[in-house]
Amino acid sequence: MKYKTSGVCSRSIDFDVVDNKVTNVHFEGGCSGNTQGVAALIEGMDIDEAIKRMSGIKCGFRPTSCPDQLANALTQYKEQA
């Protein structure tokens, strides 16, 4: 799935979900080290656990963050499935 982000430096997030596990996460733009770290940490994680861990994280004074946007994307994926 490709998700267009909002309110963060990254422009979009691509990911797959296989057997309820998050895989192949790739952020377009954003802070490269941070987004690669987030992607590596949730690789193979249960989608519900990933949403629980990342939802609500803020970036500085912004009301959202790249991890929060990924949680939003995963939530949207679940709602469409």
pLDDT score for 81: 83
pLDDT score for 15: 98
Stretches in the chain below the pLDDT threshold 70: none
Could you tell me the pTM of the whole model? 0.96
Torsions phi, psi for 58 (to 5 deg): -110, 160
CA distance 25 to 5: 14
Torsions phi, psi for 48 (to 5 deg): -70, -40
